[in-house]
Structure 1
Amino acid sequence: MTTTIEPGRKAQLNKSVRPTARFMLAHPAHWLAQGFGSGLSPIMPGTSGTLFAWLAYAVLSVRWPAVFTPLTWLIIIGVGFFVGVWACHRTGRDLGAPDHGSMVWDEIIAFWLVLVLLTPADLKTQCWAFVWFRFFDMVKPPPIAYFDRRFKGGFGVMWDDIVAAFYTLLVFAFWRSM
């Protein structure tokens, strides 16, 4: 690995860094962007991050329903989106890969949006929401692929998952209208 040092900047690595628990704990942005460790899964980290989002939403909403209301969730999602732009930009830069697979905060925020807008929803509906969201996030049908290519940095990382959430919600709106 070659190191380049510019005046007034830390050393930058030309090759990407391997995400580890040590890397994640080195900075709050890493911890958040990597979904509190769920993004470190060696198998399908995006799916692991989405499962973490689902579990966190269910546990928090059931344990403290007076606190985690739909309005509270929408505030968390809005703030989480903008904090996620910063966290994903910083983590992508530090990893040497702007949209590294270990960054799953985008999946977490987007799936929380799906869940809060589908609530109340039974377990079967939540399972289908999970499947559809993962489908749109992985396949990236237009315009998701366009946004994925066009927007870079933390905003691009976060935005394409919001569009995948929108597609998921469209499926349910269509399904419920039938």
Structure 2
Amino acid sequence: MNVTTKRVLTQPVNFLAFGLGSGLAPKAPGTFGTLAAVPLFLLLSLLPFDLYIGFVIAVSVLGIAICGYAADDLKVHDHPGIVWDEFVGFWITMIAVPVSFGTICLGFLLFRLFDILKPWPIKWADQQVGGGLGIMLDDILAGLMALGSVHLLIALFA
């Protein structure tokens, strides 16, 4: 077990930052982190809208501290395995989206697309904002762009 894996599995804040361990995937940790967010989304989707929004806001703010702590502890700004931001970004993407296999796949694909391609202002936030806020902000923006795209596509084709 390498040092990073040990620190993730033995420190609760790092475990959260690494998406309950999903960020330890050797390839594409962001994609694995987003996949790990899906079953949690299915549980969260049972909440009333206002509680869902409150939860997403709370974990977004908490994520700034979680991701900042993990980056400092591991001494790597935005370590690829820090995927709490992907959890939050996906949950933002799915705000008020009707839950179905198709909409979950659409939200997943659009969020990953925006997170990977990083169009403006996502790229700006990724490059210019540091610390836990910087780690979270680009995925929050990707989630908002994916959210708008999902709702637009649903309106056009549903």
Q: Structure 1 length normalisation: TM-score?
A: 0.80
Structure-2 separation of matches of 1:100 and 1:117: 31
- Output aligned runs, 1:1-178, within 5 Å: 19-20=4-5, 22-58=6-42, 60-61=43-44, 65=46, 68-118=47-97, 120-178=98-156
- By how many angstroms is 1:70 displaced? 2.6
Helix, strand or coil at the partner of 1:102: coil
- By how many angstroms is 1:177 displaced? 4.0
CA-to-aligned-CA distance 1:17-42 (integer Å, 9 cap, x gap): 8520x211332220111111011111
> What fraction of aligned residue pairs are identical, expressed as a percent?
34
Structure-2 separation of matches of 1:18 and 1:144: 31
Gaps of 5+ in 1: 1-16
RMSD across aligned positions (CA): 1.7
Determine which structure has more spread, i.e. the larger CA radius of gyration. 1
Checking the alignment, whether the CA contact within 8 Å between 1:19 and 1:102 is kept in structure 2 is no
Structure-1 separation of matches of 2:147 and 2:95: 11
Q: Report the residue type matching 2:11 in the other structure.
A: H
Gaps of 5+ in 2: none
Checking the alignment, whether the CA contact within 8 Å between 1:29 and 1:86 is kept in structure 2 is no
**Structure 1 residue runs of 4+, over 4 Å off?**
none
Which has a greater percent of helix? 2
CA-to-aligned-CA distance 1:76-111 (integer Å, 9 cap, x gap): 211111111011111001111110000000010111
Structure-2 separation of matches of 1:80 and 1:174: 26
Q: Report the residue type matching 1:111 in the other structure.
A: F
Checking the alignment, whether the CA contact within 8 Å between 2:93 and 2:150 is kept in structure 1 is no
Structure-2 separation of matches of 1:69 and 1:46: 28
Structure-2 separation of matches of 1:61 and 1:161: 19
CA-to-aligned-CA distance 1:106-132 (integer Å, 9 cap, x gap): 0101111222331x2321121011111
